[in-house]
A and B are shown apart, each in its own frame.
Chain A
Amino acid sequence: QQQVKQSPQSLIVQKGGISIINCAYENTAFDYFPWYQQFPGKGPALLIAIRPDVSEKKEGRFTISFNKSAKQFSLHIMDSQPGDSATYFCAASFNAGKSTFGDGTTLTVKP
């Protein structure tokens, strides 16, 4: 049973556009939902994270929207830039323990 489902698998956006990646989770005990950015040959780097008592969190061009009742959360990248081209992973964890990751979304931002 895949506990965190991520979509789409790949995404192509024009420079300046909005990139939206979605995730759905199964386990209602999860209490921390981070998004990671990964470049080829590098480890995942934390981008932004949210806890379930908040419906939205914004940091610069990156926003997480969280819907607890639907068990869904999404990452919005505003004014997407070619340098944002990378693989993005959503994840979920409980009580600061192990993270369960989605399968990733490969984002390509065209100049």
Chain B
Amino acid sequence: GAGVSQSPRYKVAKRGQDVALRCDPISGHVSLFWYQQALGQGPEFLTYFQNEAQLDKSGLPSDRFFAERPEGSVSTLKIQRTQQEDSAVYLCASSSGTLKETQYFGPGTRLLVL
């Protein structure tokens, strides 16, 4: 595709609901990153995949957060039993195997937990 796409763009959840956020990386990109961006802050790392392997999940704030990339392309970030502090923009980025440092970001999913 032309760029990284994310869906939904906006999600409102009631506290305690489960949500699933989807990321479609640029075709052929082997690395995929998830970041959380609170209002007025810089993005903070959550987790990283190389193909289907989750190589780093050190940034996931709790065991309510789970990410997967089963076929090495599309990734889903799942948040169980959402809390108000989970309200943020969730950004996905992908990078290729050649210019691998360059991360291309999607537009993000804005999650609001009421």
Indicate whether A60 reaches chain B with its CB closer than 8 angstroms: no
| Residues of B48-62 whose CB lies within 8 A of A | 48, 56, 59
Q: Is the CB of B107 within 8 A of A99?
A: no
Q: Is the CB of B40 within 8 A of A98?
A: no
- Give, as a whole number of angstroms, the nearest-CB distance from B53 to chain A: 13
> In the complex, which residue of chain B has the Cβ closest to the Cβ of A9?
B40
Report the interface size for chain A: residues with CB under 8 A from the other chain.
23
Segment from A43-51, A62-70, A74-82 that makes contact with B: A43-51
Q: Is the CB of A98 within 8 A of B56?
A: yes
Hey, what's the 0/1 contact readout for B93-114 against A, CB within 8 Å counting as 1? 1010000111111111000000
CA distance A91 to B74 in the complex (A): 25
Q: Is the CB of B91 within 8 A of A44?
A: yes
Q: Is the CB of B40 within 8 A of A104?
A: yes
- A residues near B4, Cβ cutoff 8 Å: 43
A–B complex contacts, Cβ < 8 Å, 19 sampled: A32-B101, A34-B101, A43-B4, A43-B105, A43-B106, A46-B104, A49-B102, A89-B42, A93-B101, A96-B95, A96-B100, A96-B101, A98-B56, A98-B59, A99-B33, A99-B45, A103-B42, A104-B41, A104-B42
Q: A residues within 8 Å of B by Cβ? A: 6, 32, 34, 36, 41-46, 49, 89, 91, 93, 96-104
